[in-house]
Structure 1
Amino acid sequence: MSRKVVITRPTAQALPLAQQVTGAGRDAIVFPLLEIHPLPDLAPLRMALQDLSGYAMVVFVSPNAIDAAFGVLPAWPDNLPIAVVGEGSRKALAQHGVTSSNATIFSPVNKLRTDSQTLLEVLDLDALRGKRVLIVRGETGRELLTDALRSSGIEVIQLSAYRRAAPELDQARRVQLTQLLESQNDWIVTSSEALRVLMQMLNQLDNNDAVAKMQHQRIIVPHVRIAETAQMLGLTNITLTGSGDEQLFAALQSRA
């Protein structure tokens, strides 16, 4: 029997990859480990994005940040550079009509490690010194990029565009997770936070072997930091790919 592919992204981001997996003849299971919620009041976000003329660059930390911002933004201003971390964000920009053909988009060159550190490597920090940069993000997140920019003499404004939350482990999800552990499957996990949520869920199951069974599952991750988190949490069957769905899909095809 072919291994199932368990896609743990938030539902909206999981569905396109699930369709690709299904189209290739694999059985895709969407099991979100994070939920993305809009802010309860969008007025501050809308107001903050109304006039971007005072910024030298806007950084979007994720596809969710892009979707939330463009949901209230009528059009992207001409000549305003954008910085993103991964290939998923480039795709999200393209879905809103913004590509490298009509905008300047900075992103990491190293596809095996797409994060704030590798993004900093491609930014001209000297040219940004003394200017303002807007970072569009969730309500919480890592501060590495913000701290690094500020230490380079750049004024950074952070703007919350959405909120992340761990899904409730209700009875239906409890049963589904238990069933998934009964066979060996391929799990696509694209954030360290999602991995920590997964381990919390496993510890909530009425099954003393849940964590041990998870160690037999194949975990496919697109980033070194996520792989390191998986190892720290005791997972051992880890496949590291590059950034983007194409790399994840290639890893799936390598061992169906």
Structure 2
Amino acid sequence: MLLLLAPESRRACSTREPTRFFNDFIMTRLPLPPGEGRGEGIQQCNLHGLGVLITRPPHQALPLYEAIKSNSGKPVLFPTVEITSPPDPALYKQQLENAANYDDLIFISPNAVTYAIADIAITRQRIFAIGGTTANILQQYHVQPLLPTGAKADSESLLASPLLGDMQGRRVLIIRGNGGRALLGDTLIKRGALVDYAEVYQRRCPDIDASLLLQKWPQEIDAVIVTSNAIIDNLLHLCHNNPVVLKTPLVVISQRMLKHAQERGFQQIQVAAGAAEPELLDTLCHRWGDNRDADVVQK
């Protein structure tokens, strides 16, 4: 079972009528490309046919799809954000070509690496990554990022590290998508850094008709995985704040997302240790699998 649809922040979501309809495509089984993704070898538990809605963009969803399927779950794809190049890539390419002028480069996401790595000049700079997946992708390009020891891989943990303590006079380039969080850059500026941004990709909310998804939801969807506040907002926008969505257990990846999900009206929320496939699968297994926590009540 696999479903393709998609969004990212309430601001990004279109209010016009959907221009694309995926109803003929939804709920059909799609063959995965051979060797695609990293999830099929992850064996943790038996999910007993748990229907899990995956909201990642299509190009990032296959590893998690494979991981859930390999553990006897039923993944359903509903991408809630589109990742594309900016309208004018020349605006950031010169920044990347001049990256040698910076002391520190901070990659905010896996997409930041994917869209920037071919153009960026990496020489003597310190390299940082937000998130374990971002770090892994950098390593695939033979770039070793600095990671705070034992810290959760997010902006708050990076800022708490001594690595970014004394920033007086240091030039920092933050590589990200459009409209990212201001916390990291603003804090570094307060610590004396000179901060620039290279916005190398943009997130868009697609025009999608979710009517068939909502029709199938009570029978097919037992849990939803989301990895950003914007994805939460887009999901609710596309599903018109349907109560069946809000009643479905939600898996998030941070306390910040937990708070946002509660504010948006979700009633059952699990917090995963991170956004990587093993961490998300571990949360599913402890909530619904054979090794579920004894004090967790099944849905």
TM-score by length of 2: 0.74
Structure-1 separation of matches of 2:203 and 2:99: 25
Two-structure CA RMSD over aligned residues (Å): 2.0
* Deviation for aligned residue 1:128: 2.5
1:151 aligns with 190
CA 1:22–1:213: 2 relative to 1, 3 Å: same
Query: Which residue number in structure 2 is paired with residue 80 of structure 1?
Result: 125
Q: Give the C-alpha shift of residue 95 in structure 1.
A: 2.9
CA deviation profile, 1:156-202 (whole Å, cap 9, x unmatched): 011110000112123xx431243124444121100011001111122
Shift of 1:34: 1.0
After TM superposition, give the deviation of residue 234 of structure 1 in Å.
Answer: 0.9
Contact 2:85-2:202 at 8 Å conserved across structures: yes
Structure 1 pair 81/178, CA: closer, same or farther in 2 (3 Å)?
Answer: farther
Asked if the contact 1:84–1:107 (Cα under 8 Å) also holds between the matched residues in 2, the reply is no
Q: Unaligned stretches of 5+ in structure 1?
A: 204-209
Shift of 1:20: 1.7
Residues 45 and 160 in structure 1, CA contact (< 8 A), matched pair in contact too:
yes
The equivalent residue for 1:4 is 51
Which residue identity is paired with 1:85? I
Query: Which structure carries more helix by proportion?
Result: 1
Structure 1 residues 115-170: Cα deviation after superposition (integer angstroms, max 9, x where no partner): 32221011434543101000011121111111111111100011110000112123
Give me the whole-angstrom Cα distance separating, in 1, the residues matched to 2:149 and 2:185. 16
Asked if residue 245 in structure 1 is aligned to residue 286 in structure 2, the reply is no
Q: Is the Cα contact below 8 Å between 1:66 and 1:92 reproduced in 2?
A: yes
After TM superposition, the runs of 4+ consecutive aligned structure 1 residues lying more than 3 A away are 107-110, 123-127, 181-184
1:92 aligns with 137
User: The residue matched to 1:46 in structure 2 has which SS?
Assistant: helix
Say whether the 8 Å CA contact 1:83–1:107 is kept in structure 2. no
Whole-angstrom distance in 2 between the partners of 1:246 and 1:4: 18
Work out the number of aligned pairs and report it. 240
1:224 counterpart = 2:255: yes
Query: How far apart are the structure 2 equivalents of 1:17 and 1:178?
Result: 24
Decide whether the 8 Å contact of 1:184 with 1:216 is kept in 2: no
Structure-2 change in CA distance of 1:196 and 1:181 (3 Å): farther
Q: Report % sequence identity.
A: 29
The 8 Å contact of residues 84 and 106 in structure 1, kept in 2 or not, is answered as yes
Distance 1:239 1:213 in 2: 17
CA distance in 1, matches of 2:201, 2:170: 25
2:231 pairs with 179, 185, 194, which one?
194
Residue in structure 2 matched with residue 118 of structure 1 by the alignment: 157
Aligned to 1:207: none
- Is 1:179 aligned to residue 216 of structure 2? yes
Aligned pairs (5 A) from 1:54-69: 54-69=101-116
Question: Gapped runs of 5+ residues in structure 2?
Answer: 1-47, 290-299
Asked if 1:70 is matched to 2:102, the reply is no
Q: TM-score with structure 1 length normalisation?
A: 0.86
